[in-house]
Amino acid sequence: MRTYEVFLKREGKDEFRHAGSLDAATPELALVLARENYARRAEGRLMWVVDRADILTADESFLAPNVDRPHRHNDGALVAARRRAQRESS
């Protein structure tokens, strides 16, 4: 038995989403089980089934360097403050 992760994509603009996991003896059976467990009522138009062992995983420590990067965001606060000041002075 191997563990697989199942992803489904609905009709339309949505992205692929993780649906859940399953244990299956072969890739072919993994596809059938994925259909019968996760797409029983046509919940997706496309499906990816991936062997869990083939997924590269990065944890929070790997992603951490990009958490504190305020210069990559601009919340517009400075511009808003400036406009407000202009409005109030006019």
Partner 1 sequence: MSTRTWHDLGDPGDLDGFVAFLAEGGIVEPGDPMPDEYRREVFRFIELHANSELMGGLTERDWIPKAPGLRRKMAIIAKTQDEIGHAHLLYMVASDMGVKTRDQMLTDLFAGRSRFHNVFHYAAVTWADQVAIAYLVDAAALISQQAVLKVCSYGPYRRILKRIVAEEGFHMRHGEEMLLTFAEGTEIQRRMFQEALDRWWLPALQLFGPDSKPDDELITFRIKSEPNEVLRDRWVQKYAPLLTGYGFTVPDPDLRHDPDTGRWEIGEIDWSHLKATLANAGPDSARRIGDAARHWADTAWVRDALERTSARAA
Positions touching partner 1 (CB under 8 A) are: 1-3, 18-23, 25-27, 29, 33, 36-38, 40-41, 59-60, 67
| Whole-angstrom distance, CA of residue 84 vs CA of residue 80 | 6
CA nearest 33: which of 45, 24, 46, 20?
A: 24
Which residue lies nearer to partner 1 by CB, 17 or 83? 17
- Smallest separation, CB 22 to partner 1 (Å): 6
- Smallest separation, CB 12 to partner 1 (Å): 18
Helices (DSSP H) in 2-89: which residue ranges? 27-38, 60-63, 77-89
CA nearest 16: which of 60, 50, 64?
A: 50
- Smallest separation, CB 60 to partner 1 (Å): 5
- C-alpha neighbours within 13 Å on the C-beta side of residue 74: 4
- Smallest separation, CB 21 to partner 1 (Å): 5
Which residue lies nearer to partner 1 by CB, 2 or 10? 2
Which residue lies nearer to partner 1 by CB, 63 or 90? 63
